[in-house]
Structure 1
Amino acid sequence: MSPLNLVGIAIAALAVLLLCFGLPDSWFFGLLSLACLFGSMGEAYRENKLGAALFLAVAALFAASSIRFAYRDARQSRGGS
């Protein structure tokens, strides 16, 4: 297993651990997106194009979720519905 994949696993584990201590959803999904990006780099390093593309697609989904939750939290803090 490449060091990049290990870094991705460590970031994902940290995100889950911090979620147990009240990490906001936007940060959780942002960290998961970062973990997937490291996984994608690890797969690209091993020249696994399909794995790299799948990791990038999942990273994009997590990034979109992070933006959505950040927007929702910002609206709630302003008093919007």
Structure 2
Amino acid sequence: MSTLSLIAFGTALAAVIGLAFDLPDRWFCALLALASLLGGADAVLRGLPLWAFAFLITGAMFAGAAAHAVYTAGRRQR
């Protein structure tokens, strides 16, 4: 396993463990987006274009979910 894969796995594990301790949705989605993007970067380095594309699309979806969670949390505070 490469270092990039271990960092991505650790980030995803931190997100899932944080979910057990009431981690806000914006942080959960942001950590999963980071893990997906790191996994996509690792797939690019390994020469796996389909996996890289899948990871990058998944990372973009989680980043959108994190942005939406930040926006809704901001609207609730007003």
Same fold at TM > 0.5:
yes
Aligned length: 78
Which shifted more, 32-41 or 1-10? Answer: 1-10
Query: Is the counterpart of residue 65 in structure 1 residue 65 in structure 2?
Result: yes
Displacement of 1:69 in angstroms is: 0.7
**Percent of pairs with identical residues:** 40
Deviating above 6 A after TM superposition, structure 1's stretches of 4 or more consecutive aligned residues are none
Measure, in 2, the Cα distance between the counterparts of 1:60 and 1:67: 10
Query: Is the counterpart of residue 33 in structure 1 residue 69 in structure 2?
Result: no
Query: Is the counterpart of residue 56 in structure 1 residue 56 in structure 2?
Result: yes
Query: Is the counterpart of residue 17 in structure 1 residue 17 in structure 2?
Result: yes
In structure 1, the gaps of 5 or more residues are none
Measure, in 1, the Cα distance between the counterparts of 2:22 and 2:77: 17
Counterpart code for 1:69: A
Q: TM-score, normalised by structure 1?
A: 0.92
Counterpart code for 2:40: S
Measure, in 1, the Cα distance between the counterparts of 2:36 and 2:2: 14
Counterpart code for 2:62: F
Measure, in 2, the Cα distance between the counterparts of 1:13 and 1:64: 20
Measure, in 2, the Cα distance between the counterparts of 1:71 and 1:48: 35
Counterpart code for 1:62: F
Q: TM-score, normalised by structure 2?
A: 0.95
In structure 2, the gaps of 5 or more residues are none
